[in-house]
């Protein structure tokens, strides 16, 4: 993968996926994904076209600055937008209790669930984060009720300590999605769990 490094966020092709930077042409796919109640079940609400357009602007500005911002996942054969999965540096207006951090995040269209797509992309970006960016730790977080996302974190070898559970700073007191769980993966553990990925055991 390092050989394919062009800048901080390379374009990567696997047998079935293209992992790449955001482009203006992703707007329609992003709008469709963000307006789907199944996808947004664990977010405060579905998003309007305008809200998704602002999100795309923010992601593109961040990727210009950092080189990466939750990169796009595309179906290689059809070119269809499947969503995003990858590294990000959270920049909410209010700090997270574990800032500063490198996060791995994901959001895919339902047609891409249950096929190991998120897992495949996440493994590549975790490798990029630890080996190329030389991160010491990568975290992931979600609501305590989002078991699909937590299962993915566990499959990737990430670990939760309940003492790290937190209230999301952007949600108001009493919001049903307020309570979040934090999963962490450090470099040593990555080196050990990722051995089984290349053996095809996970």
Ligand X SMILES: CC(C)(COP(=O)(O)OP(=O)(O)OC[C@H]1O[C@@H](n2cnc3c(N)ncnc32)[C@H](O)[C@@H]1OP(=O)(O)O)[C@@H](O)C(=O)NCCC(=O)NCCS
Give the binding site for ligand X (CB under 6 A): 39, 42, 106-108, 113-119, 142, 146, 148-149, 151-152, 155
Q: Which of 139, 73, 136 is nearest to 104 (CA)?
A: 139
Report how far residue 56's alpha carbon sits from residue 117's, in angstroms, rounded to the nearest whole number. Answer: 22
For residue 13, the cross-strand partners are 18
- What distance lies between CA 136 and its chain's CA centroid? 17
The two three-digit tokens of residue 23, written as one number: 């482009």
Nearer to ligand X, 64 or 195 (CB): 195
Neighbouring residues of 2: CB distance < 8 A, sequence distance ≥ 6: 131, 132
Instruction: Provide the greatest CA pair distance for the chain.
Output: 48
Please report how close the Cβ of residue 6 comes to ligand X at its closest, in angstroms.
26
Using Cβ positions, the residue closest to ligand X within the complex turns out to be: 116
Instruction: Identify which of residues 7 and 196 has a Cβ nearer to ligand X in the complex.
Output: 196
Q: Which is nearer to ligand X, 3 or 45 (CB)?
A: 45
Rank residues 13 and 64 by Cβ distance to ligand X and give the closer one. Answer: 13
Residue 57 has φ and ψ, to the nearest 5°, of: -60, -45
Q: How far is the CB of 110 from ligand X (least distance, A)?
A: 8
Q: How far is the CB of 118 from ligand X (least distance, A)?
A: 3
Residue 2: both structure tokens together:
């390092």
Q: Tell the smallest beta-carbon distance from residue 115 to ligand X (Å).
A: 5
């Amino acid at each position: 993968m390092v050989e394919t490094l062009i800048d901080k966020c390379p374009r990567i092709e696997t047998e079935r996926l293209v992992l790449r930077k955001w482009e203006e042409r992703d707007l329609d796919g992003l709008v469709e994904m963000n307006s789907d109640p199944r996808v947004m079940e664990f977010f405060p609400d579905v998003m309007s076209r305008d809200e998704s357009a602002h999100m795309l602007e923010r992601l593109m500005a961040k990727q210009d600055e950092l080189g990466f911002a939750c990169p796009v996942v595309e179906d290689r054969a059809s070119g269809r937008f499947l969503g995003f999965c990858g590294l990000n540096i959270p920049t909410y207006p209010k700090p997270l209790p574990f800032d500063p951090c490198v996060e791995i995040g994901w959001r895919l269209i339902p047609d891409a669930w249950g096929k190991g797509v998120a897992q495949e992309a996440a493994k590549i970006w975790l490798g990029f984060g630890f080996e190329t960016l030389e991160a010491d730790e990568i975290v992931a977080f979600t609501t305590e009720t989002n078991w699909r996302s937590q299962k993915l974190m566990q499959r990737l070898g990430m670990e939760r300590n309940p003492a790290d559970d937190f209230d999301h700073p952007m949600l108001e007191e009493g919001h049903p999605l307020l309570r979040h769980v934090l999963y962490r993966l450090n470099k040593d553990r990555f080196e050990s769990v990722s051995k089984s990925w290349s053996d095809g055991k996970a």
